[in-house]
Structure 1
Amino acid sequence: MDVVRSYSSTSIKSKWTKTKWLLKSSEIRDYVPRTERFDRSGLRSMLARYSTVFFKPNGGTGGFHIYRITKLKSGYLVQHNASKIRFATFDALYARLSVYERAQSFLLQKGIQLASTKGRPFDIRVMVQKEDDGRWKSTALFTKIGKSEKVATNYNQGGKIGYFRQTLSGAGFGEAAINSKELELKRLGVSVGRLFDKRKQGFRELGLDVALDRKGRAWILEVNTRPQFYPLKRMGDNGMYRRILSYAQKYGRKK
């Protein structure tokens, strides 16, 4: 008789909690874009410092309810999905964002100008999973290629899944640079896994969402503690999906 295993990997919803963990590591903190809790002073401070700021739910998933705020010569432009609204004053902007915050808490994050591949912005998912002996291993790298008119690159937001090397090649990276970036991100994934283990027990898998800016610098946008990988089944070669699933099934993942 088959034994049905329940999912047995610790999950943390709060992006703020996970960001604070990352910032405590001297090895990792330089990968974290400036992030603050949303309030009036935080919004004013971030917009004084950066031309683009993201307003994102503290507990959200799938790229939903992420807003991009762009500072204009006069006023501010807020984009959600493909819709855009302009605000003439800081007070008007803050008043609108405060309405969204009534339903759930939000964070403010420095905007990263994403590298693009063949004209489309992308970020990278670093899958990190535990081996049987408890050591972390970066088991896969793949990319989420967004639509140019959308704010988020997520599959749920109309993005598509891409192969890591192919995507970086399309972004102008040479083979040596791709090899170097792959090694850097795999090491980063393992470092984040070890750090999370120090903060709380029971993690078995993590998914780092990593942006490359237009200079090729890597930034951790967030760390997912129950990362989705089912869209990989739709790729021509589903070997990556099978590899991730072979680890995930050991702690109760079905897909």
Structure 2
Amino acid sequence: MGASYNSSALKSKWTKTQWLLKSDSLRGYVPNTATFSRSSLENMLSNYATVYFKPTGGSGGFHIVRVKKLASGYQTQLKTTKIRHATLDALYSYLVKRTKERSYLLQKGINLAKTNGNPFDIRVMVQKTNAGVWKTTGMFSKIGKPGVVATNYNQGGKVGFVKTTLAGAGFSEGTIKQKEDELIKLGESVGRLFETHLKGARELGLDVALDSSGRAWILEVNTKPQFYPLKHMGDGSMYRKILSYAKQYGRYK
């Protein structure tokens, strides 16, 4: 980012989640999310078999712990390391130690659709043009390694084309077209909403999960999204398109 970079950013996932929840048209895309406490942990695990524990201000998929309810006790997984906890208290004390007094969120686990056996989510890049219009300028899938908690590129995941990924997940051509149209509109709606709260925002990256039935869920919205992994994808045209919009607000990579 050069000195001329000019797009407002906000780290707090909780604040951004609350903006989405206040929107009638977008609320249904948000998985149940709560700030981390003993009571919210108990409540989430009484409702869901899998819950994600993630830093309110983190990025890149680091420090995300998957918590699973077992027949007896609980299991946490950080990257590929799994630990069993006999009681809710033992689980809670393990997670508290991990917070290092930083703020964390709990989010309902989505049973991610899989493409050729690998979990994936979709990054939707949205940018505001100089004419003041929010436009979805690119979409790509982030395909996780089996057995790893996050799909992020820096967690060993790889990027792919949305059409190919959805075809690998068994979606028909018609459904793929519908999903792409839905995600384009979703990105632009989120752009317009965020601009009302975050003056000067020019770019957003939505991380959208599809569950096994194809329903879309917004996992999070990044206000300073990375798109460098696209450089080497196909002929690089998506990267160049996103970059051409990014240059309008002083971003060159």
Q: TM-score range by the shorter chain?
A: over 0.9
User: Which of 2, 15, 18 is the matching residue for 1:17?
Assistant: 15
Cα offset, 1:6, TM superposition: 1.5
1:53-64 maps to which residues of 2 (within 5 A)?
Answer: 53-64=51-62
Which residue in 2 is equivalent to 1:185? 183
Give the Cα separation in 2 of the matches to 1:236 and 1:222: 26
Give the Cα separation in 1 of the matches to 2:193 and 2:66: 30
Q: Give CA deviations for 1:106-161 in whole Å, capped at 9, x if unaligned.
A: 00000001000001000000000011211100011100000011000000000000
Which residue in 1 is equivalent to 2:209? 211
Checking the alignment, whether the CA contact within 8 Å between 1:62 and 1:156 is kept in structure 2 is yes
Which residue in 1 is equivalent to 2:134? 136
Which residue in 2 is equivalent to 1:252? 250
Aligned-residue CA RMSD in angstroms? Answer: 0.8
Cα offset, 1:253, TM superposition: 1.0
Which residue in 1 is equivalent to 2:32? 34
Cα offset, 1:102, TM superposition: 2.4
Give the Cα separation in 1 of the matches to 2:39 and 2:5: 40
User: Are 1:113 and 2:143 counterparts?
Assistant: no
TM-score normalised by L of structure 2: 0.98
Cα offset, 1:200, TM superposition: 2.2
Give the Cα separation in 2 of the matches to 1:5 and 1:91: 48
Given residue 84 of structure 1, which amino acid in structure 2 is its aligned partner? K
Cα offset, 1:5, TM superposition: 5.2
Which residue in 1 is equivalent to 2:197? 199
Give the Cα separation in 2 of the matches to 1:61 and 1:101: 15
TM-score normalised by L of structure 1: 0.97
User: Which of 99, 108, 112 is the matching residue for 1:101?
Assistant: 99
User: Which of 75, 83, 93 is the matching residue for 2:73?
Assistant: 75
Q: Give CA deviations for 1:71-96 in whole Å, capped at 9, x if unaligned.
A: 00100000000110000000000001
Give the Cα separation in 2 of the matches to 1:136 and 1:239: 20
Aligned pairs, how many? Answer: 252
Q: Give CA deviations for 1:40-79 in whole Å, capped at 9, x if unaligned.
A: 1000000000000000000000000000000001000000
Given residue 4 of structure 2, which amino acid in structure 1 is its aligned partner? S
Checking the alignment, whether the CA contact within 8 Å between 2:129 and 2:248 is kept in structure 1 is no
Checking the alignment, whether the CA contact within 8 Å between 1:208 and 1:222 is kept in structure 2 is yes
Query: How many percent of aligned residue pairs carry the same amino acid?
Result: 63
Given residue 152 of structure 2, which amino acid in structure 1 is its aligned partner? N
Q: Helix, strand or coil for the counterpart of 1:78?
A: strand
Structure 2 unaligned runs (5+)?
none
Cα offset, 1:103, TM superposition: 4.0
Q: Helix, strand or coil for the counterpart of 2:93?
A: helix
Q: Give CA deviations for 1:148-200 in whole Å, capped at 9, x if unaligned.
A: 11000000000000001010011111111011000000100011011111112
Q: Helix, strand or coil for the counterpart of 2:62?
A: coil
